[in-house]
A and B are shown apart, each in its own frame.
Chain A
């Protein structure tokens, strides 16, 4: 029993930050993200025996994602909220890029916010694979396990997410490009 907790803390707890990041980017509200992460860790602990030596991170992140989806379904039952269609999402990407930031203290800060807004405005399935790839540095196979889609789908979503950012790249350049 204590052994289970010890193994859980050694294998799963190190991925708390990754779980939290994914939840933050999926549901966008920090309070909701914490609830989702806590729920996910409870489910993970209860199902820990089913892990059986597999890599804990994609396993945990898949649970986080499922918790997010159940919370979403629960919320929809209470207050119906239409899904964002892809073209609307693209429009909101454009709007996010164009929106002036009233508090732009420094360009760097401004750029960070713009980048965050652009990514937040991507359709969820694209945002998810992009963040797992770039922030968590996961392989296609691991991403496929988290998102529960085939690897080919991971590749095309990733390409679409990156292309969507590219389309808006110039607009988010406050200064000549320094990144190379």
Chain B
């Protein structure tokens, strides 16, 4: 019922074909009533849409909101431009410990990083750098609680993801709190667990298409990454492999319950 040339007629109409191909289509259309009708219809649709459809403009309010948002982003970048507390930490500035409790301190601890013109560090390096930084005094948690109903809502508005939050105290993994951090252009969520004398940071973020790194160690720290739903998780700690694997299992189980 539809002429095989119809998509090409449309492409000519949309200016997508080179002159030679367009001429061929024109020659065909001369003898094809269906394609002639199609061409008329295309013209009419375009005229009507361009004449009758409301083009609309962004409201002054929206422009104002965007200007204020840019002001805030710029201010955050300026604050982040201050020298970090531990400048020795060169291993890819994309991270810095963030949001230490009270408001003012927060700014100083924001990454130096957003500025620095950097080669993006490999994910494991960034994770270990962030983990180390979090171990500096006062850097570990911004919200301190073992209660998931306190920790989870805290992330809203501070991070781009809403992580699965659960305390596994009975199983030996005590939830001590969380914080926000920066990874590339994301504000990611970090959950902090204690396991015996070990601190485990669980980073939750939106993964790209590429595979997450396999289990590996950097500077003696162990990194275990996995996907759960549409989120990526990486646990970093000096705890043993088995211990990280157990926490992964617990969190995966929690994610399955949460996803229902």
Contact = CB atoms under 8 A, between A and B. Distances in A.
B164 to A, nearest CB: 13
B66 A41 contact: yes
Contacts of B65: 34, 38
A21 B73 contact: no
B10 A45 contact: no
B7 A155 contact: yes
A180 B39 CA distance: 11
Interface string A131-153: 00111000110000000000000
A143 B7 CA distance: 16
A84 interface: no
Interface in A21-66: 21, 24, 34, 37-38, 41-43, 45-47, 50
A72 interface: no
Given A46-B73, A115-B48, A180-B44, A38 B66 contact: yes
Given A38-B62, A140-B14, A162-B42, 15 more contacts: A2-B74, A16-B62, A17-B57, A37-B62, A38-B65, A41-B66, A116-B53, A134-B50, A135-B55, A140-B11, A155-B10, A155-B11, A159-B7, A159-B10, A179-B48
A78 interface: no
Interface of A: 1-2, 4-5, 8-9, 13, 16-17, 19-21, 24, 34, 37-38, 41-43, 45-47, 50, 108, 111-112, 115-116, 119, 130, 133-135, 139-140, 155-156, 158-159, 162, 165-166, 169, 177, 179-180
Contacts, number: 109
Contacts of B51: 179
A20 B115 contact: no
B58 interface: yes
Contact of A21 (B14, B56, B61, B77): B56
Q: Which of B41, B45, B61, B63 has the most CB of A within 10 A?
A: B45
Contacts of B53: 112, 115-116, 119, 134-135
A55 B124 CA distance: 32
B54 A8 contact: no
Contact of B56 (A2, A9, A24, A46): A24
B49 A5 contact: no
A163 to B, nearest CB: 8
B215 interface: no
Interface of B: 6-7, 10-11, 14-16, 41-59, 61-63, 65-66, 69-70, 73-74, 77-78, 81, 115, 185
A136 B177 CA distance: 48
A50 to B, nearest CB: 8
Contacts of A130: 49
B26 to A, nearest CB: 18
B185 A8 contact: no
A137 to B, nearest CB: 9
A155 B42 CA distance: 13
A1 B57 contact: no
Given A20-B58, A111-B52, A115-B49, A45 B73 contact: yes
A173 to B, nearest CB: 10
Contacts of B49: 115, 119, 130, 134-135
Given A5-B70, A38-B62, A162-B41, A156 B7 contact: yes
Nearest to B10: A159
B10 A158 contact: yes
Contacts of A165: 45
A7 to B, nearest CB: 12
A24 B55 CA distance: 10
A34 B69 contact: no
Contacts of A42: 69, 73
Contacts of B74: 1-2, 5
B40 to A, nearest CB: 8
Given A24-B56, A180-B44, A16 B66 contact: yes
